[in-house]
Each structure stands twice: as C-alpha cells, then as structure tokens.
Amino acid sequence: MALKIIFMGTPNFAVPILKSVHESKHKILEVYTQPPTKKNRGLKIQNSSVHICANELKIPVRHPISLKDNNEIKYIKKINPDVVIVVAYGQILPEQLLKIGKTSFINIHASLLPKWRGAAPIQRAIMNMDHESGISIMKIVPKLDSGPVLLRSKIKISQDTTYEELAKKMSKLGGKLILDALELLEKKKAVFIEQNESEASYAKKIKKSECRINWNKNSNEVIAKINALNSNLGSWFEINGNRIKIIEAKEVKNKKGKPGILLDENFTIACSNNAIQILKLKKEGKQQTTAEEFLRGTKIKIGQLLG
C-alpha cells in the first residue's frame, strides 16, 4: 500500500531524494521548504532548489517561516501523512508536531551517526580527513540528530574528495536508501536502533573566520579545508590586500619554506610541512580562473609572504 508523505527539504542536496520518492509508488501530499529569499539587493525573489523542483513535479509547496505556528501544525494533522521525510530542511521540528497522530517522522542525515550530528557534516568529515562517511536514516526526536537509526550506508572519502563530489554521492545514496526505509515502514518491519551517546560528535556550522587559510598548518590539512569549502564559503588568503578564494589545489611534497611563502612560478605556497600548488582560484568580485591566467595579470614575486 502506498504511503502518504510530506517531504521537507531546502537545498540542492535534497532534490535527488525528492525525485526518488516522487518516482516511487508513494504519494507526496505536500513539500515544505524554506521561504523564498531576496537576491541581488532585493531585486529578485529566489525560490529554494527544492521549491523549484517541486513546482516542476507539480507538487504543492508550503514555505512557512516557522513550523511552531499552530495553524501549520493543524494543517499537517488534517492531511494526516503516514510519513514526514526531512532532508536538510533548515528548521528544527517542534515537539508538538512530532506528537501528532501515528505519523512517522524520519530524517536523512549526511553522516554515519552518531558521528557529525548537526549542520555541516559533509564539510566537517572532509576537514577532519575522515576516511569514510555516509547516510543515516533516523527517527526524529527533540534532541538534534540523536534519534534511533533505521538504516546506514557508507561512502569512502579520499584525500582528493571535495564537498561537491561527496554531496552528490550522498544525495544519490540517500535517494536509494529512503526507498528501503519506506518499504520497511510500509510493511511495519522498521527496527530503530538507539545511538551510542558516548560516540557522538557535532558538525557545527562553518564560521567565516574558519575559512581563512592558516599556512602554519600541514599541507594535507590545508588541502582538506580547501576541498571541504570549495563550493560554498570557500577557503581564502590575501595577496596585496586582495582576498583570493582557492577553488582547487594539490599537495606538493618535498618542497619547503617559511609558511605562506610563494615558492615558485607555479603558484606553490609553503605550509608548515610540504606545500600546496593552487590550480584554480577566484579573486573577490571576479570570475573563477586558473592559476596560470591569474598570475599573468597579478604582480607577485617568488619569496613573497602571502596573508
């Protein structure tokens, strides 16, 4: 028997999962997402990625400012979903909502819980140089990402893995795993296993202050930060007072110098051990470019200390 579903999600990460559920036998009654935002100094209203996708799939969309609104809780209670699926929605579900009827509230989280609970699990896993991460499907409880887990699946992380690459793999995996979870719920065979609190760690939201490159770190740590932040906030440093965001770089071993020194014409910069070579970058207010193109138009000397 097909399940009646409410889907809650906002960023592009949630889109493949929304599509996977939509293409299944189950019925999505409503999509919830974050409200539209103003872009370019308020000149244009922009819907979330999930909102755009839901419109294309002709699924009704709601975007309340808060789910604590009694009218919103009454509405969800009225349409009486069997399951509410949450994927990077951007709001914590109120306890009052979690208690309605016989609805199952489940979350698709981008880590192997209880590791990396919280807002930035993909970035933190890469920055921490973890060798693996994955997807967890858990029951939603009032405490953040601490509910019992129904399903988990692992994904390997290499030194070259970027946020964008890992997010795409996780999203695709989440789209497959949610169908397994729905089948278990439908057949009443779902078994949720409590998380081990002693093993819990938290993936706090990335602060802007964390994005500046510290050349006193080891080269592999610098590369990990660049890869983790390459498609959102971005890791950066300064040249002649200008902020430079690194899009892509590689580790260069057996090259040494004072941390932050430009070592050669290939844009190789010394770290506390070894060095990194910048391959792609973006000057503040400019388009992304290759290191070679950037160096043609920027005065920078070998031996110069970079900020």
- Kindly report the CATH number assigned to the domain that includes residue 104: 3.40.50.170
Q: 176, 203, 230: which is the final residue of a domain? A: 203
Q: In this structure, are 131 and 182 located in the same domain?
A: yes
Share of the chain above pLDDT 70, in %: 99
The torsion region of residue 295 among left (phi > 0), alpha (psi -120 to 50) and beta comes to alpha
Structural domain range at position 265: 208-296
Q: In this structure, are 193 and 113 located in the same domain?
A: yes
**Would residue 305 count as lying in a domain?**
no
Q: In this structure, are 215 and 192 located in the same domain?
A: no
CA 289 – CA 21 distance, rounded (Å):
38
Q: In this structure, are 153 and 220 located in the same domain?
A: no
**Would residue 304 count as lying in a domain?**
no
CB-CB contact of 137 with 106 (8 Å): yes
* Predicted local confidence at residue 42, as pLDDT: 60
**Would residue 30 count as lying in a domain?**
yes
State the residue for tokens 């975007």.
63
Weakest mean pLDDT among 14-28, 29-43, 212-226, 234-248: 29-43
pLDDT, tens only, 73-123: 999 999 999 999 999 999 999 999 999 989 999 999 999 999 999 999 999
Nearest to 175 by CA among 16, 3, 2, 7: 16
CA 257 – CA 269 distance, rounded (Å):
8
**Would residue 133 count as lying in a domain?**
yes
Average pLDDT over residues 172-178: 98
- Number of independent structural domains in the chain: 2
Q: In this structure, are 188 and 219 located in the same domain?
A: no
Q: b/e for 69-105, b at 16 or more Cβ within 10 A?
A: eeebbeebeeeebbbbbbbbbebebeeebeebeebbb
Q: In this structure, are 198 and 217 located in the same domain?
A: no
- Kindly report the CATH number assigned to the domain that includes residue 245: 3.10.25.10
pLDDT band at 230 (very low <50, low <70, confident <90, very high): confident
Instruction: Report DSSP letters for the chain, one per residue.
Output: -PPEEEEEE-SGGGHHHHHHHHTSSSEEEEEE-PPPEEETTTTEEE--HHHHHHHHTT--EE--S-TT-HHHHHHHHHH--SEEEEES-SSPPPHHHHTSTT-EEEEEESSSTTTTEES-HHHHHHHTT-SEEEEEEEE--SSTT-SPEEEEEEEE--TT--HHHHHHHHHHHHHHHHHHHHHHHHTT----B---GGG--EEPPPPGGGGB--TTS-HHHHHHHHHHTTTTT-EEEEETTEEEEEEEEEEETT---STTBB-STT-EEE-SSSEEEEEEEEETTS-EEEHHHHHHTS---TTPBP-
Residue 139 dihedral angles phi and psi, to the nearest 5°: -80, 135
What lies within 8 Å, CB to CB, of 277 at 6+ separation is 249, 250, 251, 252, 266, 267, 268, 269, 291
Average pLDDT over residues 171-188: 98
**Would residue 303 count as lying in a domain?**
no
**Would residue 302 count as lying in a domain?**
no
Q: In this structure, are 118 and 171 located in the same domain?
A: yes
6: Cα within 13 Å, side-chain hemisphere: 23
Q: In this structure, are 136 and 259 located in the same domain?
A: no
CA 124 – CA 114 distance, rounded (Å):
14
Average pLDDT over residues 203-209: 93
Q: In this structure, are 137 and 157 located in the same domain?
A: yes
What lies within 8 Å, CB to CB, of 168 at 6+ separation is none
Alpha-carbon torsion (219, 224, 229, 231), positive or negative: positive
Q: 173, 203, 233: which is the final residue of a domain? A: 203
Weakest mean pLDDT among 108-117, 200-209, 279-288: 279-288
Q: In this structure, are 177 and 164 located in the same domain?
A: yes
pLDDT, tens only, 29-44: 999 999 998 876 667 8
Q: In this structure, are 37 and 168 located in the same domain?
A: yes
Q: 203, 229, 258: which is the final residue of a domain? A: 203
> Is the pLDDT reported for residue 266 higher than 80?
yes
**Would residue 190 count as lying in a domain?**
yes
* Predicted local confidence at residue 40, as pLDDT: 67
Q: In this structure, are 112 and 126 located in the same domain?
A: yes
CB-CB contact of 30 with 59 (8 Å): yes
**Would residue 192 count as lying in a domain?**
yes
Average pLDDT, the chain: 95
